[in-house]
Amino acid sequence: MQRSISLKPDNFDRPRGELEVLAFDAKTGRLIRIFRDGNIVVNLARATMAHLVSDPGASSQGYVVTTMKFGQGGHDPNNPTLPIPPTTSDTDLNDPIAGNDATQSVSFDYPDGPMGTKVRFTATIPAVCDINGTPPAGQAISEAGLFSDNGNMFAKKTFGILTKTEEIAFTFRWTIIF
């Protein structure tokens, strides 16, 4: 008896990932905090991956992940340490922070080698500015998203509030595992 396999998208394992946030003392460069947790890869990522593996012009159509955006709507308003769980149907951050520096370009590398199944995206918010590029005054950050050039969100992570001050620089390292 031959068994049929359904090709419905829900029957496939999703890519998954992990967001690591490193907080550094701006004066000494000393690592003062590490936050690391899993994230979700949203539904729009499926379209991105389909185009990237099948269309030679996909990079010119904006399907390449190029930016990380930050927001302040990822936590429970009644408990700033409690994240609001994201869903795979999310298409944007809950409350994106306005301003040029709220969207950071990412660099990327392959932490398990050029033939591996992981890609890591890195963005940094320097100590000299807050998320908006102005002198820091306690900017709250509680969500982050990876976005393609065409504006589609690829992955999302919410977390308890991280407060950006002039004493702290943040490095966000986001690893996606295929």
pLDDT bucket at 136, cuts 50 / 70 / 90? low
Two tokens at 144? 């982050």
Q: Which residues contact 7 (CB under 8 A, 6 or more apart)?
A: none
C-alpha of 54 from chain center? 24
| Whole-number Å distance between alpha carbons of 14 and 178 | 8
Averaged over 59-83, what is the pLDDT? 91
Query: What would the pLDDT profile of 21-62 be if each residue is shown by its tens digit?
Result: 999 998 899 999 999 999 888 988 877 887 776 667 777 778
**pLDDT confidence band for 11 (50 / 70 / 90):** very low
